[in-house]
Structure 1
Amino acid sequence: MKPPADSLLGASLEGRYRIDAPIARGGMSAVYLGVDLRLGRSVAIKVMDARYSGDPQFLRRFEFEARAVAGLKHPGLVAVYDQGIDDGIAFLVMELVEGGSLRELLRERGPMPPHAVSAVADPVLGGLGTAHAAGLVHRDVKPENVLISDAGEVKVADFGLVRAVAEAGVTSASVILGTAAYLSPEQVEAGDADARSDVYSMGVMMFELLTGRTPFRGDTPLALAYQRLSYDVPAPGDVVDGVPEEFDEIVLRATERDPAERYADGYDMRRALLAAADELDLPSFTVPAPRRSAERDTMARFRADRAQPQVPAPPGPNPTRVQSGPATPPPVAAPTPRPDREPAAARTTRPESRFDEQPEPDHNGPVRALIWTTFVLLLAVAVGAVGWWVGQTYLS
């Protein structure tokens, strides 16, 4: 049975932003590929779920947060172009990042070596630091909210939405479901968040990038969230082999349960990261976009549909939108109190990653080198012989 068609497809919000195709759906919103008809450019349009659009408190906070984020300028942040409410539909117009999410890249390639982790975390922390300096907190730092373009740009998306939803008069278990693995202890215990909360979430995300898994587990999102109240995030090097101690120290400080013991903000954590990368002499690295992503699949289908003749849909009742929550994270190892570094024999090796792929060795290289050397020597002898013959002929 085919799902009902999306009633928003083809609609123009405020007569300016045409919705062309769905990219992703979550518990709070849906993201669409769209076009700014006035400027003639492709955009991403985030449409909030209808239960939020009817809440005046949410709409006020949504507008305030959108205006604040639109004023931020940093290459590590997804640009916000516009926001509005059209016939009860609250929407946000953003820069379209053609590529995919960090979550999709992790699923495709697995855990990252330190130089790739540094290449991801540097722009993310720069973007977070810019927002923190302006008094803004993300509250939902996780791989799903980090986008990677085909040009290797890394950008943070969805600033301010969690705060707007949290202050709305609508209970949303999906907010906890989507962030349970990355929430800071103070967010779980009291719902409070500041720049150091984003730092904690960033530390958890770095742990996952290095090891391929999140540090805690639980039978329910709530149980998963509460694990961090009793347990520390372990050092990545205590879980898998090959993690530099400098990166362990960054993750451990970022995920201290006491916010006062963490880095003060994104800029502070970024300085520590860059110092570690410099000390380790890590090579520069361009983060690849995932080969398969929701955004890429949407673009391909949309272009294919536009290339085919359009067949009008049969008449019928107006379809309704279908919402689905994010996928449940895979099971991970149970948390343990932060131990001293175990001997190497007790640790597992870092899982295989396609980031570590090396080119196949060229077994024929020595043979080809010998052939070329012989050819050059013969050519030199021939040239010398011709030169000698010409000289002798001229002198005689």
Structure 2
Amino acid sequence: MLVHFGDRYAEQIGNVRQIVGRFVGVQDVVASRNPAHRISVRPGAVPGAAYDGRVADDLPEGALLDGRYRVATKIATGGTSTVYRGLDTRLDRPVALKVMDSRYAGDQQFLTRFQMEARAVARLKDPGLVAVYDQGLDGRHPFLVMELVEGGTLRELLAERGPMPPHAVAAVLGPVLGGLAAAHRAGLVHRDVKPENVLISDEGEVKIVDFGLVRAFAEAGITSTSVILGTAAYLSPEQVRDGNASPRSDVYSTGIVAYELLTGQTPFSGDTALSIAYQRLETDVPRPSTVIDGVPPQFDELVERATARDPADRYADGHDMAAELAAIVKELALPRFRVPAPRNSAQHRSAVQHHSTDRRQPPKHQPTRQLEREPHHGKPVTPGQFAGIDMVEFALERQHARRMMLIWIAIVLSITGMAAGAAWTVGSNLSGLL
């Protein structure tokens, strides 16, 4: 039996490797310090462009793209691009500039698809989507001009604060699903929904970014870090099995994000990206309540349906899942919540550097965090608590006046001394309760 299982596992892994191989050959490479999170392959589809190990080209501060967009400080670098703060000199408007690596400038198939996807996304209008303003090619650099969201990513917020209580989870998922619904109505599929692609502004806005980029790379036959197959922890079974994606694939990935928000960890773990990707072909995502006490059954059911292995058993699209979430919020009478931006985000550090006259630096006691996905190692959760917060608190939020609720919060925190409760309920949610 052991031999049979091993043969079957090897066969399935071989199938996944063939999917990768259809795009760029056979060599898998590790692309991050935690190889369990990304499936990546050596770029090699661009004619005449030999991969030299670079992540992306750096543009000097002050460079002008297309005679209009001035490059400022770098925000983040990925496997295929670098994001900068920028200025639209024609409109005197701050923007975000996503500059693709120069190795893609010679691939006409990629450039055509990149332009088509940018135009399609630019037509979308929804508060849950990062707006796309323009796209172009300046010499060796294809680029995308987007709304500048002052804040940080959901990944950075999770790294700072850990798992969220139900009303905070709903506050994050609502705008994400709204953005997905708008895109799905227009016939677009994201293909790479994950916390890194969810931005949170300093005003509490939640927006999803990078629509269309994965498809541009996929149809051009280009693969690199976090594209084509995306990030292993969030892939749908059909993406792993045959590379296909639909609105129901985005629903699955959103279900994984919901699970992580509730529990502080992703449902599957392993030593390699391939092993993580393979598990969802044979294993259902567990209910969040099996990991952390106090998760309402309605959220268990939301995650369970969103992450069904058979796409036909999932919510049809972002709108369908958003409607279910809205019904849950109403049924549980969850309070409104303003999602806090991460305090030590890459975007904030870039803003500090950009405003050089201020000369303020991030506090030394808040070092840059390693954001690769790692299991959450918080304090043990005791019965009747959620993320260190007494579940009685949530009942009182629905039954008592706001003043009485705030008094109860103070009592609970003084008795339990739970840091997580203080962080989420008082530090972040107080403004939404007053």
TM-score class, shorter-chain normalisation, is 0.7 to 0.9
Mark the CA change 1:241 to 1:198 in structure 2 (over 3 Å): closer, same or farther.
same
Contact 1:110/1:352, CA 8 A, preserved across alignment: no
Quote how far apart the aligned CAs of 1:5 are: 10
Quote how far apart the aligned CAs of 1:306 are: 8.1
Give, as a single letter, the amino acid of the residue that structure 2 aligns with 1:184: S
Quote how far apart the aligned CAs of 1:52 are: 2.3
In 2: Cα distance, 1:332 partner to 1:300 partner: 30
- How far does the alpha carbon of each residue in 1:114-139 deviate from its partner, in whole angstroms, 9 at most, with x for none? 00000110111011000000000000
SS at match of 1:304: coil
**2:113 is matched with which residue?**
61
Contact 2:167/2:337, CA 8 A, preserved across alignment: yes
Contact 2:87/2:94, CA 8 A, preserved across alignment: yes
**1:330 is matched with which residue?**
374
**2:212 is matched with which residue?**
160
In 1: Cα distance, 2:317 partner to 2:192 partner: 15
**1:22 is matched with which residue?**
74
Give, as a single letter, the amino acid of the residue that structure 1 aligns with 2:348: R
Quote how far apart the aligned CAs of 1:328 are: 3.7
Higher relative contact order (CA 8 A, sep 6+): 1
Contact 2:259/2:288, CA 8 A, preserved across alignment: yes
**1:340 is matched with which residue?**
none
**2:296 is matched with which residue?**
244
Mark the CA change 1:359 to 1:202 in structure 2 (over 3 Å): closer, same or farther.
same
CA RMSD of aligned residues (A): 2.7
1:90 aligns with 2:134: no
Contact 1:75/1:127, CA 8 A, preserved across alignment: yes
In 2: Cα distance, 1:359 partner to 1:265 partner: 41
Contact 1:35/1:41, CA 8 A, preserved across alignment: yes
In 1: Cα distance, 2:102 partner to 2:410 partner: 51
- Give the length in aligned residue pairs: 330
Consecutive unaligned residues of structure 1, counting only runs of 5 or more, are 309-325, 334-343, 364-396
Contact 2:58/2:82, CA 8 A, preserved across alignment: no
**Paired residue for 1:133, among 180, 185, 188?**
185
Consecutive unaligned residues of structure 2, counting only runs of 5 or more, are 1-55, 361-369, 394-405, 415-434
Mark the CA change 1:330 to 1:177 in structure 2 (over 3 Å): closer, same or farther.
farther
Give, as a single letter, the amino acid of the residue that structure 2 aligns with 1:257: R
**1:99 is matched with which residue?**
151
1:300 aligns with 2:352: yes
1:110 aligns with 2:162: yes
In 1: Cα distance, 2:385 partner to 2:334 partner: 20
**Paired residue for 1:73, among 115, 118, 125?**
125
SS at match of 1:85: strand
- How far does the alpha carbon of each residue in 1:11-48 deviate from its partner, in whole angstroms, 9 at most, with x for none? 11001000001000111211000000000010000011
**1:268 is matched with which residue?**
320
Give, as a single letter, the amino acid of the residue that structure 2 aligns with 1:330: E
Contact 1:53/1:59, CA 8 A, preserved across alignment: yes
Larger radius of gyration: 1
Quote how far apart the aligned CAs of 1:53 are: 2.5
In 1: Cα distance, 2:413 partner to 2:99 partner: 52
Mark the CA change 1:332 to 1:109 in structure 2 (over 3 Å): closer, same or farther.
closer
1:211 aligns with 2:255: no
Contact 1:239/1:348, CA 8 A, preserved across alignment: no
In 2: Cα distance, 1:186 partner to 1:200 partner: 10
- How far does the alpha carbon of each residue in 1:316-337 deviate from its partner, in whole angstroms, 9 at most, with x for none? xxxxxxxxxx95421479xxxx
**Paired residue for 1:184, among 236, 244, 251?**
236
Give, as a single letter, the amino acid of the residue that structure 1 aligns with 2:270: G
Quote how far apart the aligned CAs of 1:106 are: 0.7
TM-score normalized by the length of structure 1: 0.78
SS at match of 2:298: helix
**Paired residue for 2:222, among 149, 170, 178?**
170
Q: What percent of counterpart residues are identical? A: 62
Mark the CA change 1:212 to 1:189 in structure 2 (over 3 Å): closer, same or farther.
same
1:148 aligns with 2:192: no
In 2: Cα distance, 1:213 partner to 1:251 partner: 14
Mark the CA change 1:305 to 1:177 in structure 2 (over 3 Å): closer, same or farther.
farther
In 2: Cα distance, 1:327 partner to 1:285 partner: 25
In 2: Cα distance, 1:112 partner to 1:64 partner: 37
Contact 1:218/1:227, CA 8 A, preserved across alignment: no
**Paired residue for 1:289, among 319, 330, 341?**
341
**1:12 is matched with which residue?**
64
In 2: Cα distance, 1:35 partner to 1:141 partner: 28
1:233 aligns with 2:277: no
Paired residues for 1:35-54 under 5 Å: 35-54=87-106
Quote how far apart the aligned CAs of 1:362 are: 11
Flag as ranges the 4+ runs of structure 1 deviating above 3 A: 4-8, 305-308, 347-353, 356-363
Quote how far apart the aligned CAs of 1:351 are: 4.0
In 2: Cα distance, 1:250 partner to 1:135 partner: 24
In 1: Cα distance, 2:210 partner to 2:410 partner: 38
Contact 1:53/1:89, CA 8 A, preserved across alignment: yes
- How far does the alpha carbon of each residue in 1:339-390 deviate from its partner, in whole angstroms, 9 at most, with x for none? xxxxx99x8964448xx99557899xxxxxxxxxxxxxxxxxxxxxxxxxxx
